[in-house]
Chains A and B, each alone.
Chain A
Amino acid sequence: DADVTQTPRNRITKTGKRIMLECSQTKGHDRMYWYRQDPGLGLRLIYYSFDVKDINKGEISDGYSVSRQAQAKFSLSLESAIPNQTALYFCATSAGSSTIHPNEQFFGPGTRLTVL
Protein backbone atom coordinates (compact mmCIF):
# COMPACT_ATOMS: atom_id res chain seq x y z
CA ASP A 1 0.00 0.00 0.00
CA ALA A 2 1.15 3.53 -0.77
CA ASP A 3 2.55 5.51 2.15
CA VAL A 4 0.82 8.75 1.07
CA THR A 5 -2.62 8.50 -0.47
CA GLN A 6 -4.90 11.13 -1.95
CA THR A 7 -8.59 11.03 -2.69
CA PRO A 8 -10.12 11.57 -5.12
CA ARG A 9 -7.56 11.01 -7.88
CA ASN A 10 -9.63 12.90 -10.43
CA ARG A 11 -12.44 15.36 -9.95
CA ILE A 12 -14.47 17.50 -12.31
CA THR A 13 -16.64 20.14 -10.73
CA LYS A 14 -18.43 23.36 -11.54
CA THR A 15 -17.66 26.94 -10.61
CA GLY A 16 -18.91 27.82 -7.15
CA LYS A 17 -18.96 24.30 -5.75
CA ARG A 18 -17.18 23.39 -2.51
CA ILE A 19 -14.52 20.75 -2.98
CA MET A 20 -12.47 18.79 -0.46
CA LEU A 21 -9.29 16.92 -1.31
CA GLU A 22 -8.06 14.46 1.25
CA CYS A 23 -4.60 13.22 2.10
CA SER A 24 -3.66 10.36 4.40
CA GLN A 25 -0.25 9.00 5.31
CA THR A 26 1.05 5.92 7.08
CA LYS A 27 4.65 7.14 7.36
CA GLY A 28 4.18 8.54 10.85
CA HIS A 29 5.46 11.92 9.71
CA ASP A 30 4.65 15.10 11.58
CA ARG A 31 4.82 17.49 8.64
CA MET A 32 2.35 17.64 5.79
CA TYR A 33 2.09 19.92 2.76
CA TRP A 34 -0.32 20.79 -0.03
CA TYR A 35 1.02 21.90 -3.43
CA ARG A 36 -0.52 22.72 -6.77
CA GLN A 37 1.20 22.18 -10.08
CA ASP A 38 0.40 24.14 -13.21
CA PRO A 39 2.09 23.70 -16.60
CA GLY A 40 5.10 26.01 -16.85
CA LEU A 41 4.82 27.15 -13.23
CA GLY A 42 6.18 24.17 -11.36
CA LEU A 43 5.05 23.22 -7.87
CA ARG A 44 3.76 25.92 -5.54
CA LEU A 45 3.03 25.59 -1.84
CA ILE A 46 -0.55 26.22 -0.73
CA TYR A 47 -0.51 25.31 2.98
CA TYR A 48 1.68 23.34 5.32
CA SER A 49 1.39 21.89 8.79
CA PHE A 50 4.26 20.97 11.09
CA ASP A 51 2.01 19.20 13.58
CA VAL A 52 -1.67 18.77 14.39
CA LYS A 53 -1.95 22.18 16.05
CA ASP A 54 0.15 24.04 13.49
CA ILE A 55 -1.22 25.37 10.19
CA ASN A 56 0.67 27.82 7.97
CA LYS A 57 -0.11 29.58 4.73
CA GLY A 58 2.12 28.98 1.75
CA GLU A 59 2.72 31.25 -1.22
CA ILE A 60 -0.72 30.79 -2.85
CA SER A 61 -3.24 30.18 -0.03
CA ASP A 62 -5.99 32.55 -1.23
CA GLY A 63 -9.15 30.62 -2.10
CA TYR A 64 -8.06 27.56 -0.13
CA SER A 65 -8.39 26.31 3.43
CA VAL A 66 -7.02 23.26 5.22
CA SER A 67 -7.76 21.04 8.17
CA ARG A 68 -5.30 18.78 10.00
CA GLN A 69 -7.68 16.26 11.52
CA ALA A 70 -4.96 14.01 12.88
CA GLN A 71 -1.25 13.41 12.45
CA ALA A 72 -2.07 11.19 9.49
CA LYS A 73 -4.71 13.33 7.77
CA PHE A 74 -4.53 16.71 6.07
CA SER A 75 -7.42 17.98 3.95
CA LEU A 76 -7.52 20.82 1.44
CA SER A 77 -10.78 22.64 0.72
CA LEU A 78 -11.81 24.95 -2.06
CA GLU A 79 -14.75 26.84 -0.58
CA SER A 80 -16.03 28.13 -3.92
CA ALA A 81 -14.13 26.64 -6.81
CA ILE A 82 -13.17 28.78 -9.79
CA PRO A 83 -11.74 27.74 -13.17
CA ASN A 84 -8.23 29.01 -12.47
CA GLN A 85 -8.00 26.48 -9.65
CA THR A 86 -7.88 23.78 -12.28
CA ALA A 87 -4.57 22.07 -11.61
CA LEU A 88 -2.81 18.98 -10.34
CA TYR A 89 -2.73 18.94 -6.54
CA PHE A 90 -0.15 17.08 -4.49
CA CYS A 91 0.06 16.25 -0.83
CA ALA A 92 3.48 15.57 0.68
CA THR A 93 4.93 14.60 4.05
CA SER A 94 8.27 14.88 5.81
CA ALA A 95 9.54 13.52 9.08
CA GLY A 96 10.70 16.83 10.55
CA SER A 97 12.53 15.05 13.31
CA SER A 98 15.68 13.10 14.00
CA THR A 99 16.28 11.23 10.80
CA ILE A 100 19.12 11.50 8.33
CA HIS A 101 17.08 13.83 6.17
CA PRO A 102 14.19 15.24 8.22
CA ASN A 103 13.14 17.51 5.37
CA GLU A 104 13.00 14.90 2.61
CA GLN A 105 9.48 15.04 1.24
CA PHE A 106 7.37 12.12 0.06
CA PHE A 107 4.55 12.84 -2.33
CA GLY A 108 1.11 11.40 -2.86
CA PRO A 109 -0.04 10.37 -6.35
CA GLY A 110 -1.79 13.67 -7.03
CA THR A 111 -5.37 14.76 -7.63
CA ARG A 112 -6.30 16.16 -11.00
CA LEU A 113 -8.97 18.81 -10.44
CA THR A 114 -10.92 20.44 -13.25
CA VAL A 115 -13.23 23.36 -12.51
CA LEU A 116 -15.66 24.12 -15.32
Chain B
Amino acid sequence: KNEVEQSPQNLTAQEGEFITINCSYSVGISALHWLQQHPGGGIVSLFMLSSGKKKHGRLIATINIQEKHSSLHITASHPRDSAVYICAVIGGTSYGKLTFGQGTILTVHP
Protein backbone atom coordinates (compact mmCIF):
# COMPACT_ATOMS: atom_id res chain seq x y z
CA LYS B 1 0.00 0.00 0.00
CA ASN B 2 1.37 3.41 -0.96
CA GLU B 3 2.05 5.86 1.84
CA VAL B 4 0.05 8.48 -0.06
CA GLU B 5 -3.19 7.52 -1.79
CA GLN B 6 -5.25 9.82 -3.97
CA SER B 7 -8.83 9.37 -5.12
CA PRO B 8 -10.22 9.34 -7.63
CA GLN B 9 -7.46 8.48 -10.10
CA ASN B 10 -9.49 9.93 -12.95
CA LEU B 11 -12.21 12.54 -12.76
CA THR B 12 -14.36 13.98 -15.52
CA ALA B 13 -16.59 16.98 -14.90
CA GLN B 14 -18.72 19.49 -16.74
CA GLU B 15 -17.80 23.13 -16.64
CA GLY B 16 -19.19 24.80 -13.54
CA GLU B 17 -19.24 21.70 -11.34
CA PHE B 18 -17.76 21.59 -7.85
CA ILE B 19 -14.83 19.18 -7.74
CA THR B 20 -13.21 17.35 -4.84
CA ILE B 21 -9.95 15.41 -4.95
CA ASN B 22 -8.95 13.43 -1.88
CA CYS B 23 -5.58 12.52 -0.42
CA SER B 24 -4.99 10.06 2.42
CA TYR B 25 -1.64 9.27 3.95
CA SER B 26 -0.40 6.68 6.39
CA VAL B 27 2.66 8.35 7.91
CA GLY B 28 3.18 11.20 10.31
CA ILE B 29 3.78 14.40 8.41
CA SER B 30 4.94 17.94 8.99
CA ALA B 31 3.17 19.37 5.93
CA LEU B 32 1.24 18.47 2.81
CA HIS B 33 1.76 19.86 -0.69
CA TRP B 34 -0.79 20.13 -3.49
CA LEU B 35 0.71 20.42 -6.97
CA GLN B 36 -0.77 20.90 -10.42
CA GLN B 37 0.73 19.47 -13.60
CA HIS B 38 -0.61 20.74 -16.91
CA PRO B 39 -0.60 18.69 -20.12
CA GLY B 40 2.57 20.49 -21.20
CA GLY B 41 4.34 18.87 -18.25
CA GLY B 42 5.19 21.77 -15.95
CA ILE B 43 4.48 21.37 -12.23
CA VAL B 44 3.16 24.25 -10.18
CA SER B 45 2.83 24.50 -6.42
CA LEU B 46 -0.77 25.22 -5.41
CA PHE B 47 -0.76 24.93 -1.62
CA MET B 48 1.41 23.96 1.30
CA LEU B 49 -0.62 22.99 4.38
CA SER B 50 0.24 22.15 7.93
CA SER B 51 -3.26 22.53 9.35
CA GLY B 52 -6.70 23.90 8.64
CA LYS B 53 -7.71 25.39 5.35
CA LYS B 54 -6.31 27.59 2.60
CA LYS B 55 -8.05 29.34 -0.28
CA HIS B 56 -6.66 30.79 -3.47
CA GLY B 57 -9.17 31.98 -6.03
CA ARG B 58 -11.45 29.04 -6.86
CA LEU B 59 -9.18 26.54 -5.15
CA ILE B 60 -9.61 25.45 -1.55
CA ALA B 61 -7.40 22.98 0.31
CA THR B 62 -8.17 21.46 3.68
CA ILE B 63 -6.27 19.10 5.92
CA ASN B 64 -7.28 17.01 8.93
CA ILE B 65 -4.10 15.92 10.67
CA GLN B 66 -5.86 13.53 13.07
CA GLU B 67 -7.61 11.70 10.22
CA LYS B 68 -4.54 11.90 7.94
CA HIS B 69 -6.60 13.28 5.12
CA SER B 70 -6.58 16.29 2.84
CA SER B 71 -8.96 17.50 0.17
CA LEU B 72 -8.55 19.85 -2.76
CA HIS B 73 -11.74 21.53 -3.93
CA ILE B 74 -12.30 23.46 -7.14
CA THR B 75 -15.38 25.65 -7.28
CA ALA B 76 -17.01 26.60 -10.59
CA SER B 77 -14.67 24.35 -12.57
CA HIS B 78 -13.44 25.45 -15.97
CA PRO B 79 -11.79 23.58 -18.86
CA ARG B 80 -8.51 25.32 -18.05
CA ASP B 81 -8.53 23.45 -14.72
CA SER B 82 -7.92 20.23 -16.67
CA ALA B 83 -4.63 18.90 -15.35
CA VAL B 84 -3.09 16.29 -13.09
CA TYR B 85 -3.35 17.17 -9.40
CA ILE B 86 -0.68 15.68 -7.18
CA CYS B 87 -0.66 15.37 -3.41
CA ALA B 88 2.70 15.05 -1.66
CA VAL B 89 3.61 14.81 2.01
CA ILE B 90 6.68 15.74 4.01
CA GLY B 91 7.19 13.09 6.64
CA GLY B 92 8.34 13.73 10.14
CA THR B 93 11.46 11.60 9.62
CA SER B 94 12.26 12.58 6.02
CA TYR B 95 12.89 16.23 6.56
CA GLY B 96 12.45 18.17 3.35
CA LYS B 97 11.75 15.17 1.11
CA LEU B 98 8.37 14.69 -0.52
CA THR B 99 6.46 11.44 -0.85
CA PHE B 100 4.08 11.70 -3.78
CA GLY B 101 0.65 10.33 -4.51
CA GLN B 102 -0.03 8.91 -7.95
CA GLY B 103 -1.96 11.95 -9.09
CA THR B 104 -5.56 12.58 -10.13
CA ILE B 105 -6.26 13.27 -13.78
CA LEU B 106 -8.99 15.91 -14.04
CA THR B 107 -10.77 16.67 -17.29
CA VAL B 108 -13.33 19.46 -17.37
CA HIS B 109 -15.56 19.58 -20.43
CA PRO B 110 -17.18 22.80 -21.68
> What residues of chain A have their CB less than 8 Å away from a CB belonging to chain B?
31, 33, 40-45, 48, 50, 58, 88, 90, 92, 94, 96, 101-107, 109-110, 112
Q: Give Cα A112–Cα B88 distance, bound, in whole angstroms.
A: 22
Known: A103-B30, A103-B31, A103-B96. A42 touches B45 (CB 8 A): no
Given contacts A48-B96, A103-B30, A109-B41, 11 further A-B contacts (CB under 8 A): A42-B101, A42-B103, A43-B86, A43-B100, A58-B97, A90-B43, A92-B43, A102-B96, A107-B35, A107-B44, A110-B43
CB<8 Å pairs between A and B, sample of 26: A33-B97, A41-B102, A42-B86, A42-B100, A42-B101, A42-B102, A42-B103, A43-B100, A48-B97, A50-B96, A90-B43, A96-B96, A103-B30, A103-B95, A103-B98, A104-B48, A105-B33, A105-B88, A105-B98, A106-B45, A107-B42, A107-B44, A107-B45, A109-B41, A109-B42, A112-B41
Interface string of B88-106 (1 = CB under 8 A from A): 1010000111101111000
Residues of B within 8 A of A104 (CB): 31, 33, 45, 48
The tally of residues in B whose CB lies under 8 Å from a CB in A reads 21
Residues of B within 8 A of A103 (CB): 30-31, 33, 48, 90, 95-96, 98
Interface string of B44-69 (1 = CB under 8 A from A): 11001000000000000000000000
